[in-house]
Structure 1
Amino acid sequence: MFSKKKKEDDPAVLHPSQNDDSRVVVIPIDESQHAETAFDWYMKNVRKGTDKLKLVHCYEPPPPPASSYPAFRTTNRYLKNQRKPNDKVKLVHCAELEQPSGAYYPDYAVPPEAWQDQIEKSKDRVHKLMEKYEKKMKDSKVSGSVYSEMGRAGECVCKVADKSNANLIIMGSRGLGMVRRTVMGSCSEYVLHHSKVPVTIIPKEDPNKYI
């Protein structure tokens, strides 16, 4: 949806097969200082001239408008878990009276106009984010690509690392408190437990310390 990749014939892109010492390093990025700290830590401490960086922004689109979200979720669940090849599906729309302006919308969804506005703003933010990191890579003379991938952050990072045959993942830590981490979960914690390659977490408090 927001992908912006370097062309394969770009001379700045170094393929791992061109050098036995080359590494593929995945660094998740977003608009936070934690992501920037992780990138800067990589550049200062572990960068190699033959590395190929994969900077990925993982995003989840906002829920569909209030009127369509429950049906969207149910249809998705059916297609993913219960569909059989010989099924005949009949989708029925039962119209309801339109809610007046200012009506209450459930927490899980937003009005159609606001949803579309969120989509457009998200596109703009992602493009600016990718341009920012493309410039950082160019200024630092490091090879690689910047792109976006839809999905939950932790799962998305592991998926990208698998697809790109990564050698290392470096990511920032949001430094969530115990309660928030228990309730919300932690992206870095998920990656630590599910990654097939070494993971370096750059702490929020002191970027010179790492685990």
Structure 2
Amino acid sequence: MEGVNMKKRVGKIVVAVDESEESMYALSWCLHNLFSQGSNSTLVLLYVKPPPPVYCSFDAAGYMFSDDVVKAMEKYGSEMVNSVMQRAEVVCGKFGSNINVERVVGCGEAKDVICSIVDKLKADTLIMGSHGYGFIKRALLGSVSDYCAKHVKCPVVIVKQSEEI
């Protein structure tokens, strides 16, 4: 994609971010390759929280889950969202302050939530990092980016982090 001037044609770009360095690299790549300083494009930072675990009121030993445990897990989830979004905003801040940035947080199975939100937002482009899993790991775990590339209606750019970085 380098050498292709997409900077003037892009309206709403969704970048899927998570705890990984790969997603922050993809965000940085997006900012350097798809945004210009005078751009009126919107950058949407999308984070997907895992689905909440289904709790039975009693665990295997017959003890009841306390509200404190459930609240602690919910607090951890909120802190993770804030941490990832703050890291992403630091990356954006290094590029320039005139970028229109929106935060969107979904909850559920990442591949389904990403596809749904990208369609709902009528995004022009979806940017995702690649974890670089090999064939076996991808076959066992599946690939969120592969799934999204096949199911969203807009172009998808999967950014691979170079070995040198």
Pairwise TM-score range, normalised by the shorter structure: 0.7 to 0.9
| Aligned partner of 1:126 among 81, 93, 101 | 81
Question: Residue 92 of structure 2: SS of its match in structure 1?
Answer: helix
Distance 2:10 2:158 in 1: 21
Per-residue deviation, 1:160: 1.6
Question: Residue 50 of structure 1: SS of its match in structure 2?
Answer: coil
| Alignment CA distance shift 1:114-1:167 (3 Å) | same
Partner of 1:99: 62
Partner of 2:129: 172
| Aligned partner of 1:156 among 113, 118, 125 | 113
Q: Which amino acid is 2:138 matched to?
A: R
Partner of 2:57: 67
Question: Residue 52 of structure 2: SS of its match in structure 1?
Answer: coil
Mean Cα displacement is larger for which, 45-54 or 184-193? 45-54
Per-residue deviation, 1:181: 1.2
Distance 2:45 2:63 in 1: 44
- TM-score, normalisation: structure 2: 0.78
Partner of 2:28: 40
Number of residue pairs aligned between Structure 1 and Structure 2: 153
Partner of 2:43: 53
Q: Which amino acid is 2:140 matched to?
A: V
- TM-score, normalisation: structure 1: 0.63
Q: Which amino acid is 1:166 matched to?
A: A
What CA deviation, in whole Å up to 9, does each residue of 1:68-104 have, x standing for no partner? 79xxxxxxxxxxxxxxxxxxxxxxxxxxx96269xxx
Q: Which amino acid is 2:88 matched to?
A: Y
1:104-123 to structure 2, matched below 5 A, reads 112=66, 114-123=69-78
Question: Residue 74 of structure 2: SS of its match in structure 1?
Answer: helix
Question: Residue 86 of structure 2: SS of its match in structure 1?
Answer: helix
Q: Which amino acid is 1:44 matched to?
A: H
Per-residue deviation, 1:165: 1.3
Structure 1 unaligned spans of 5+: 1-19, 70-96, 102-110
Partner of 1:196: 153
Percent same amino acid at aligned positions? 25
Structure possessing the higher radius of gyration over alpha carbons:
1
What CA deviation, in whole Å up to 9, does each residue of 1:137-185 have, x standing for no partner? 3442211211211121112112121111111111101112222211221
Distance 2:164 2:155 in 1: 18
1:143 aligns with 2:123: no
